Amino acid sequence: MDIMKLRLSLTFFVLITLSVSCAPSDSPLAEETKQQNLEQHPLCLVSESRRHHIEAEYAVTGEQRAIGLMNRENLETDSGMLFYYPTSERRSFWMFQTLIPLDIAFIASDGEILQVFTMQPCDSDEPRLCVSYPSRQAFRTALEMNAGYFNETGFGPGDYLLDSDCERVAWENWNGLAR
């Protein structure tokens, strides 16, 4: 009988531990994934006829890119997050634990915007149940902005994301990307 109580107690302890470690995104534990300290950097969107300045946080490490804009409740107008990768590859993004709808632009090594998606938040607590947004071709960086941003501003495929002076500069020479 004592062994049965011990097994029951251990089972209960394991279940409680698992339920806390797998807390939903609206729990206080989700606060740990907020990125509040990434520095803002000025960037420039350029088309044939105009230039538009924006601010972007740079996600350059694997951890920063994995967390991205998770658990953010808002994003300022003309602000976003630039996901920088050392090489160009085809990749996918998802919206696990992301609370706000976002636009994403996949950007080539020369700064050309290749593709734009509008992504909706994933309501699931299971990452595997979230929609994936894959690029059709290899890209070097991705820029996330508020949903509708690219449609509203008229920027899209064929336009460019450039440095703060609206000049083409190698990514490695951009302020904040040097490691």
pTM of the model: 0.79
89, 66, 127, 148: CA torsion to nearest 10: -80
| pLDDT for 167 | 87
- The domain ranges of the chain are 34-173
User: One-letter amino acid identity for 155?
Assistant: F
Each residue's pLDDT, cut to its tens digit, for the chain (179 residues) gives 454 443 434 333 333 332 222 333 333 334 445 555 788 899 999 999 999 999 999 999 999 999 999 999 999 999 999 999 999 999 999 999 999 999 999 999 999 999 999 999 999 999 999 999 999 999 999 999 999 999 999 999 999 999 999 988 777 667 666 54
Q: Please give the class, per CATH, of domain 34-173.
A: mainly beta
Alpha-carbon distance 73 to 31, whole Å? 11
Q: What burial class does residue 106 get, using C-beta atoms within 10 Å of its C-beta: 0-12 exposed, 13-18 middle, 19+ buried?
A: buried
CA contacts within 13 A on the Cβ side of 115: 16
| pLDDT for 176 | 64
